[in-house]
Structures are given as structure tokens and as C-alpha cells.
Amino acid sequence: MNNILALHINTPRDVARQIAARVKARRLELNLTQEGAATRAGLKFATYRRFEQTGEISLKGLLQIGFALNALPEFDALFAQKQYQSLDNVLNEQNVTRKRGKKNE
């Protein structure tokens, strides 16, 4: 029996396409056409259509779509601060938390 786990790492492109697929599903749940969703989001139809097909869109455009599809609150969790399980975890991390990035060498 093989105990090696298959590791699948999503690329940014994969994640973008998965987000686009979830946006499409949300749009269909709301019974909106692509054109209707684009209008609600304040985007050009071609921009919206390209997003659903490729996952490519600006951050501002994605936020506009989130607002139009009542999903904007879901962005609040993106890059949220860690939730600690104990005081020990907080104290241990305080010792290693950096205030700025490492200089390139």
C-alpha cells in the first residue's frame, strides 16, 4: 500500500479560475445573466464575460462583482489576523513577528 499522499498545489491561475466558477454559480443562483451581473457590478459586459471564462480581472472589478452578488463581506476574511488557541501561542509568536520584510541579499 502506498502511503505517499498526492500533493496538489493550486497556482494563482487555478485559484482565479475557481473563484470565477464560484462567481458564476452565485450569479446563476441569483438568476442573473452575465450582462445583468456586469450591469449591477458597473463593469463592461466584455470584462465580466472574460472574468468568468479566464478568471482574469482587476481587484477593484472583483470587489465590484462581490458587491453586486452580495458577497462583499466574504472578502473580510482574506488575510485576516490569526486566531490564537492559547496565550502560549500568542507569546511564542510575539518573539518571531517581524515588523518588515527581510532585505534581499
Q: What is the pLDDT of residues 17-49, one digit of tens each?
A: 999 999 999 999 999 999 999 999 999 999 999
* Cut 0.75: pTM above it: no
Residue 71 and residue 37 in contact, taking contact as beta carbons nearer than 8 Å: no
> For residues 66 and 72, what is the distance between their CA atoms, to the nearest angstrom?
5
Query: Could you tell me the domains of the chain?
Result: 12-77 (1.10.260.40)
Q: How confident is the model at residue 83 (pLDDT cuts 50, 70, 90)?
A: confident
Q: At 11, is the secondary structure helix, strand, or coil? A: coil
Contact, 86 vs 96, CB < 8 A? no
Question: What is the DSSP secondary-structure string of 58-99?
Answer: -HHHHHHHHHHTT-GGGGGGTTPPPPPSSHHHHHHHHTT--S
